[in-house]
Amino acid sequence: MAEIPYRFVTDSRVEELIANHADLEAGQETDNVVTIAGRLMLRRVQGKLAFATLDDGSGRIQLFAPSKTTPEFDKFCDLNLGDWVGVTGVVMTTRRGELSVRVDSWVLLAEARRPFPDKWHGITDVDTRYRQRYVDLWVTPEGRQTFLMRSRMMSLTRSFMEHRGFIEVETPIFHPIPGGANAQPFTTHHNALDLDLYLRVAPELYLKRLTVAGFDKVFEIGRVFRNEGLSTRHNPEFTMLELYQAYADYDDIMNLVEELVEHLALELTGSTVLMVGDRELDVARPWRRATMIELIEESIGVTLSLEMSIEELRAVAAEHGVPFKDSFGSGKLILEIYEKTTESALWGPVYVTEYPAEVSPLAREHRNKPGMTERFEAILAGRELCNAFSELVDPDQQRSRFEDQAAQNAGGDAEAMMVDEDYLRALEYGLPPTGGLGIGMDRLAMLLTGATSIRDVVLFPTLRPER
């Protein structure tokens, strides 16, 4: 192997060269000498001439290597696809008008010891694409664009929040008590404290502590972890945007969500109309608002209510093939019927409102409808994008909800919450009226990029070990 330098200084990017030399005529040579570096993606030798395609991450440009002027011409011709090279030379066009950099000097920067897929075929096996993202991003331009768009989405989201007076914070990933969402946590152990800890399923309870502390607009973009299965919509670790706004309710949060999504769509795609598969989805404001009860009736023609007997609700569930447990109360049965018969068929965008209190342990009771909460989920193209509510502020009610959850947890429901005494203590210091929101940023990226699987928007998704 050739000696690899410790450092190599470039002065140009391919995208800049393409933009600055768009008007060059065929066969024209400039006096612009540049130094670039990247991977060789194509190479062909035609007698005394060698041509290669160099990709520096910003774009691709041809390298033009005549035998008379190219140092160590034979070695240049022996380079492998995937090798990293640094090149210095003049910017020019070939007789066919191909923008090129003439190879006046070159150096090998890294050797690809494994065969690199060629431009035309790439990585055909999907599983290999996910496992070897370090190769996939070179040979699949669409994949690279997806992650560049995701990066910009994150940046735009932060700017959007900061422009509206929110401050960004970081809260613990290790939690002594799992909480903030109904989900099974991952457990780990801290040796020095001899203490079991839980990877956070949501930052919610810590962020609301900060609202108690006087941060009236606060958000966090961070990883959360849920010990659940894998699917096209689920990865056990994912990125969540969570925010809390004092003096606001769930109507205010609805307005914020649709404003954010519309803004991102326009900035990233130039339109509010997104393609999801072969269907269009228009995310322009305002979005429809409909109660869970109304949507169930539209879907299966049955009007449900919390006043119905358990037997009546079980009969509806059984009639529509919805499995249930004897422990399910009325609210849980209604939610199960909705999720199994209605949710996936919703195209939206639609806010599904008025969730039963039984399945909403952190949401405030509806101001006009006993037994329901001021909670919503946004459904776009059959996918849940976010969960939000007017926050429960009463510590006595919160304790009662926690205790109900703890009883379910003790009864075998691994997703149910536990009693968090410190959070209850924080509530006793006073939480003002507050609206809260959690958005799955991976699902938002899927929506904006047109991806059909969450693995297409996560750089390194969780996979079964290779055998």
The predicted-structure confidence for 256-282, as pLDDT tens digits, reads as follows: 999 999 999 999 999 999 999 999 999
| Among 29, 44, 16, 12, CA closest to 100 | 29
Query: What's the gap between Cα 79 and its chain centre?
Result: 38
DSSP assignment of 257-311 equals HHHHHHHHHHHHHSSSEEEETTEEEE-PSPPEEEEHHHHHHHHHS----TTS-HH
> pLDDT grade, residue 1 (50/70/90)?
low
Reported as a single tens digit per residue, the pLDDT across 13-51 is 999 999 999 899 999 999 999 999 999 999 999 999 999
Percent of the chain with pLDDT strictly greater than 90: 87
Q: Can you read off the two tokens belonging to residue 281?
A: 């989805």
Q: Would you tell me how many other CB atoms lie within 10 Å of the CB of residue 396? A: 10
Cis ω on the peptide bond leading into residue 286 (within 30° of 0)?
yes
Query: Hey, what domains does the chain have and what are their CATH numbers?
Result: 14-110 (2.40.50.140), 141-287+348-456 (3.30.930.10)
pLDDT confidence bin for 119, thresholds 50/70/90: low
Instruction: Give the span between the Cα atoms of 338 and 302, in whole angstroms.
Output: 11
415 pLDDT band, cuts 50/70/90, is: confident
Neighbours of 415 (CB within 10 A): 17
**Residue 390 forms beta bridges with which residues?**
435
Beta-strand relationship, 49-55 and 60-66: antiparallel
pLDDT for residue 121:
58
Distance CA 186, CA 426 (A): 25
What the block records as the tokens of 347 is 């195209």
Does position 183 have pLDDT exceeding 80, yes or no? yes
Residue 167: which of 215, 209, 212, 224 has the closest Cα? 215
Among the listed residues 338, 334, 339, 388, the one whose alpha carbon sits nearest the alpha carbon of residue 202: 388
Burial of 120 per CB tally in 10 Å (0-12, 13-18, 19+): exposed
Q: Judge contact between 391 and 420, C-beta under 8 A.
A: no
